[in-house]
């Protein structure tokens, strides 16, 4: 009981300190507001949100400290208790995100997409709730935003406007409408509270996370707050999102013309779009993980899996302009509008990319080295893997661990020359949340460039989509990644070739690589055929 008595006062000291510091940051942010009405609103809303955050943060922190106190590091009891604390804390964080809304939900969504970078209990809890249960704005609030942005009520600006949203996310919700010339459109309307409280919320969240890190050095997710702080203003600007969608499609036409017809982004209605309202062409299609609807379209999931892998490999390794939020709700599938079929008579898919708010640009150095790393991973080239990991700062001590997170395979499997060495046949094969690995994760997050952290998040989203489509290990995706990354590396080498001898050497390397991928593809077909016979 003595321990318990000393525990709770410490907890409330931390709550008080964090609330005071966060309150100071919030007051400074509110003082910068030019709108008296907004300032008054912030003065009433922010303290309540800050208090919830402070209490939740302190409760989570001390639940870990108190529950694990005295339990041996390697004991089964500690593992069991830690799982329970992770689960309780994830639920508390989930409740906080829904109560505070706005930026908090955005943070929760990021956590839900960071498999293997945060404890699995957090990722699973956030993924299951944050993407499907986002709060909605009332129709009155929607009308106010539309009138302020477009100069009239929805029923005036549009011929038809459905007051019930078809989808809602952390930043906005989408309504179906019809223009006065009869075009069916999707209207994305920003939640009214987003820009009001975003700055103050960021200030308070940052202070709380920094305070927790000071008291508990092993808790260090400052990088996540920094990432959301950097990306959210861009996501809140819907004209920026519209420009991203145009640039994305232009990149496919210029740099990847061989698949440009198979990737699509809805057309933007610029005259009906502002920073807070985005009007786009309405697209009918199946969500990429909706297997029943996909089957009704007469499209094979395997063809969609290949297209998704090809699309994002082209973005990462050739374009250097990457859609970094490719969860299932942002990827639609429809039959190719031209009606073309494969040589087997199957309907060909077209991938429709939605929500272009979050993109990352990779400079030439990062893009080329990231492509070289994936080429080495697919070909199980241990020396090249190490060399390219070191270029990203992983270091002698953590480069193998970095590759394990990228591929979800232990190092021994990563460098195994077998054609199926990267197949994910057991999600629990790599458990990186034992006590012996936590310090590795924290240190690696410090060393890697932030853009690589976002690429890792993108990889996790794509892996989840692939698993939903095929419901079995996908080797074809890795071969596609290997091919596209190799093409990007060869193209970069050719751009720097200064002699005929260099050109010939690079061409021979290209021929050798293509032959190797053909052999791997044949080996994969044989492996799949044998597995089908054994079923």
- Residues with Cβ < 8 Å from 100, sequence gap 6 or more? 49, 52, 53, 201
| Residue 85 near residue 63, CB atoms below 8 Å | yes
Q: What does the pLDDT read at residue 140? A: 95
What residues does 188 pair with on adjacent strands? Answer: 174, 278
> Which residues does 271 contact at the CB level (< 8 Å), separation at least 6?
none
CB-based contact 456:401 (threshold 8 Å)? no
- What is the structure's pLDDT at 234? 87
CA atoms within 13 A on the CB side of 289: 14
pLDDT of residue 240: 97
| SS3 per-residue string spanning 35-59 | CHHHHHHHHHHHHHHHHHHHHHHHH
Give the CA distances from residue 15 to residues 207, 374, 404, 506, in Å, rounded to whole numbers and listed in that order.
12, 45, 38, 61
Q: Do the beta carbons of residue 137 and residue 173 sit within 8 Å? A: yes
Residue with the two structure tokens 């922010």: 46
Q: Please, what is the end-to-end C-alpha distance for the chain in angstroms? A: 59
Asked if 136 contacts 166 with a C-beta cutoff of 8 angstroms, the reply is no
Q: What is the pLDDT of residue 201?
A: 73
SS3 (DSSP) at 349: strand
- Dump strand ranges (E) for 77-197: 160-161, 167-168, 172-178, 184-190
Q: Is the torsion defined by CA of 380, 465, 449, 207 positive or negative?
A: negative
pTM over 0.85: no
Residues 481 and 374: beta-carbon distance below 8 Å:
yes
Q: Which of 196, 325, 355, 460 is catalytic?
A: 325
Residue 88: its pLDDT value, please?
94
Q: Tens digit of pLDDT per residue, the chain (535 long)?
A: 344 334 444 444 444 444 444 444 444 444 444 455 544 455 555 677 778 888 888 888 889 888 988 888 778 898 899 899 999 999 998 998 888 877 788 778 777 777 666 778 888 888 887 766 777 899 999 999 999 999 999 999 999 999 999 988 888 999 999 999 999 999 999 998 776 667 777 777 777 777 766 766 666 677 777 777 778 788 889 999 999 999 999 999 999 999 999 999 999 999 999 999 999 999 999 999 899 999 899 999 999 999 999 999 999 999 999 999 898 889 999 999 977 666 666 789 999 999 999 999 999 999 999 999 999 999 999 999 999 999 999 999 999 999 988 888 888 888 888 777 776 554 445 555 444 566 777 788 888 998 898 898 788 788 878 888 876 656 788 899 999 999 999 999 999 888 998 899 999 988 999 898 888 888 877 876 776 676 5
Q: What is residue 115's predicted lDDT score, i.e. its pLDDT?
A: 65
pLDDT tens-place string over residues 301-319: 999 999 999 999 999 999 9
Question: Does 325 qualify as catalytic in the annotation?
Answer: yes
In the chain, % helix, strand, coil (3-state, to 5) comes to: 65, 10, 25
Determine phi and psi for 279, rounding to 5 degrees.
-110, 125
């Amino acid at each position: 009981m003595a321990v318990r008595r000393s525990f709770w006062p410490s907890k409330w000291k931390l709550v008080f300190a964090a609330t005071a510091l966060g309150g100071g940051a919030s007051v400074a942010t509110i003082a910068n507001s030019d709108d008296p009405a907004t300032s008054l609103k912030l003065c009433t809303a922010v303290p309540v949100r800050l208090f919830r955050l402070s209490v939740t943060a302190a409760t989570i922190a001390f639940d870990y400290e108190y529950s694990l106190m005295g339990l041996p590091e390697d004991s089964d009891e500690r593992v069991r208790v830690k799982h329970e604390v992770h689960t309780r804390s994830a639920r508390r964080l989930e409740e906080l995100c829904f109560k505070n809304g706005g930026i908090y939900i955005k943070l929760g969504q990021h956590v839900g997409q960071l498999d293997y970078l945060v404890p699995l209990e957090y990722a699973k809890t956030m993924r299951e709730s944050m993407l499907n249960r986002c709060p909605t704005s009332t129709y009155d609030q929607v009308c106010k935003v539309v009138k302020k942005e477009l100069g009239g009520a929805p029923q005036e600006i549009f011929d038809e406007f459905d007051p019930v949203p078809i989808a809602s996310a952390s930043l906005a919700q989408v309504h179906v409408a019809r223009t006065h010339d009869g075009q069916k459109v999707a209207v994305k309307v920003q939640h009214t509270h987003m820009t009001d409280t975003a700055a103050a919320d960021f200030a308070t969240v940052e202070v709380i996370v920094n305070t927790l890190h000071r008291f508990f050095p092993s808790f260090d997710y400052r990088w996540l707050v920094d990432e959301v702080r950097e990306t959210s203003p861009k996501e809140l600007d819907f004209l920026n999102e519209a420009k991203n969608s145009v640039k994305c499609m232009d990149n496919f036409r210029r740099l990847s013309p061989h698949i440009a017809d198979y990737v699509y982004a809805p057309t933007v209605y610029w005259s009906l779009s502002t920073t807070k309202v985005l009007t786009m062409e309405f697209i009918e299609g199946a969500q990429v993980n909706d297997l029943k609807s996909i089957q009704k379209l007469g499209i094979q999931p395997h063809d969609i899996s290949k297209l998704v892998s090809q699309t994002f490999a082209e973005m990462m390794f050739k374009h250097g302009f990457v859609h970094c939020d490719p969860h299932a709700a942002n990827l639609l599938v429809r039959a190719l509008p031209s009606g073309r079929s494969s040589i087997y008579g199957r309907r060909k898919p077209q991938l429709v990319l939605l929500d272009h708010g979050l993109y990352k640009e990779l400079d030439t150095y990062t893009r080329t080295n990231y492509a070289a790393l994936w080429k080495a991973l697919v070909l199980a080239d241990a020396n090249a893997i190490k060399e390219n990991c070191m270029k990203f700062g992983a270091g002698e001590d953590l480069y193998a661990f970095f590759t394990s997170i990228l591929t979800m395979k232990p190092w021994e499997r990563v460098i195994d020359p077998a054609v199926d060495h990267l197949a994910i046949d057991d999600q629990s094969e790599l458990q990186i949340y034992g006590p012996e690995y936590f310090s590795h994760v924290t240190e690696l997050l410090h060393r890697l460039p932030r853009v690589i952290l976002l690429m890792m998040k993108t990889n996790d989203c794509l892996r989840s989509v692939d698993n939903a489509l095929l419901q079995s290990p996908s080797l074809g995706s890795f071969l596609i990644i290997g091919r596209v990354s190799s093409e990007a590396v060869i193209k970069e080498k050719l751009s720097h070739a200064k002699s005929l001898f260099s050109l010939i050497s690079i061409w021979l390397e290209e021929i050798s690589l293509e032959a190797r991928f053909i052999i791997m593809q044949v080996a994969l077909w044989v492996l799949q055929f044998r597995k089908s016979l054994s079923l």
